[in-house]
Amino acid sequence: MNQQLTDRFGRAIEYVRLSVTDRCDLRCFYCMPKGYSDFEAPDHWLTFDEIERVIGAFARLGTRRVRVTGGEPLVRKDLPQLTARLAALPGIKDLSLSTNATRLAKHAVDLHAAGIRRINVSLDSLDAARFKDITQGKLDKVLAGLMAAKAAGFSPIKINMVVMKGINEDEVEAMVDFCIEHGFTLRFIETMPMGNTGRNATDHYVDLQTVKARLAKRYELLPGVMPGGGPARYVRVAGTDLRIGFITPISQHFCETCNRVRLSVDGTLYMCLGQEHKLELRPLLRAGCTDAELETAIRTAIDLKPERHEFREKPDQVVRFMSMTGG
């Protein structure tokens, strides 16, 4: 392996979040504007060959973990073919997927066979009407996808719930009970001011410290850890297998331990969710760069990684919304 990627602040970068599309079959109001259709043109999408080259270069530079995301990754045709290729790359040890699960019932078995082991599913409500209000989608499809994922053997399956005041804050306990019943891990997320959609949602911002305090009245919460836990701070619910993670980019940021970069569908490497620092790899790839040139470009990009996001100080800064970067 070449020398491990380390940024200017001494953080080892060993995790890539790979967006395979900026499209989505849902329209979660905090993520993508209703009726939005100004997506990347297909000829700008990195091809599977190009993605394999970029992730191969990251793997040579020490990346061990890749999470496939989007937009909704399952709207990209033949996704299992891509993940099987990525799983086979020397050095890649952990391949995971973030999905809204609407198409998971159909693809769960193929994805598991194609090397994905860990899966995160967005689920903000267990009430069908409310789910529709938030996402414009159908809850039963997501639940069917989740059950198919369980049957296919994914482990862990993590539920990601963006907790929002006046929208779904009252469902926190119901979601805990649902996850205990099904053996899922649960993560609560604070709204982030990404694009106008995210900024509108910050009217509903909930400081997750208050959610934790509320849960502590009903459940005994013990200190917990989760392998590959990333930015979530975990607790365990006594007497159950449930772990609950709190992802608190706003109330308690975790930038000092950030180990990741994001590759968007058009081949742009974004260094931080909350900043504009980026480097475009597609022009290089399409100009026929060598593997060495690709690795140099990645190192140059890592040198641009900022120390931290400024969601609090500059909430209007990020114009792209979450699905464009790859959440």
Residue ranges in contact with ligand SAM by CB under 6 A = 24, 30-31, 69-70, 72, 98-100, 122, 160, 162, 189, 191-192, 194, 198, 201, 322-323, 327
Calpha distance 67→95 (Å, rounded): 6
Calpha distance 58→50 (Å, rounded): 13
82, burial (CB in 10 Å: exposed 0-12, middle 13-18, buried 19+): buried
> With CB cut-offs between 5 and 8 Å by kind, which of ligand SAM, ligand SF4, none does residue 32 bind?
ligand SF4
Calpha distance 14→258 (Å, rounded): 10
Q: Which stretch binds ligand SF4 (CB under 6 A): 54-62, 64-72, 89-97, 263-271?
A: 64-72
Q: Which of 14, 72, 190, 295 binds ligand SF4 (CB under 6 A)?
A: 72
Give least dist CB 106 to ligand SAM, A: 16
Is residue 26 a contact residue for ligand SF4 (CB under 6 A)? yes
Contact 4, 61 (CB under 8 A): yes
Is residue 198 a contact residue for ligand SF4 (CB under 6 A)? no
Calpha distance 299→72 (Å, rounded): 28
Calpha distance 69→114 (Å, rounded): 15
Is the CA virtual torsion 118, 274, 201, 234 positive or negative?
A: positive
Residue 306: C-alpha distances to residues 8, 24, 275, 309 (Å): 8, 29, 8, 8
Give least dist CB 47 to ligand SAM, A: 21
> With CB cut-offs between 5 and 8 Å by kind, which of ligand SF4, ligand SAM, none does residue 194 bind?
ligand SAM
Nearer to ligand SF4, 198 or 267 (CB): 198
> With CB cut-offs between 5 and 8 Å by kind, which of ligand SF4, ligand SAM, none does residue 162 bind?
ligand SAM
With H, G, I as helix, E, B as strand and everything else as coil, classify residue 104.
helix
Q: x/- site string to ligand SF4, residues 254 to 293, per CB under 6 A?
A: ----------------------------------------
Determine the longest span between alpha carbons in the chain, in angstroms.
60
> With CB cut-offs between 5 and 8 Å by kind, which of ligand SAM, ligand SF4, none does residue 201 bind?
ligand SAM
Range list of β-strands (E), 230-322: 233-237, 243-247, 260-263, 268-270, 278-280
Q: Which of 16, 18, 20, 32 binds ligand SF4 (CB under 6 A)?
A: 32
Which candidate, 14, 119, 18, places its Cα nearest to that of 67? Answer: 18
User: What's the distance, Cα to Cα, between the start and end of the chain in Å?
Assistant: 28
Q: Which of 19, 248, 323, 325 binds ligand SF4 (CB under 6 A)?
A: 323
> CA 185 from chain center: how many Å?
15
Is residue 71 a contact residue for ligand SF4 (CB under 6 A)? yes
Give least dist CB 221 to ligand SF4, A: 27
Q: Which of 19, 63, 83, 100 binds ligand SF4 (CB under 6 A)?
A: 100
Write out the residues near ligand SF4 by the rule CB under 6 A. Answer: 24, 26-28, 31-32, 70-72, 100, 122, 135, 322-323
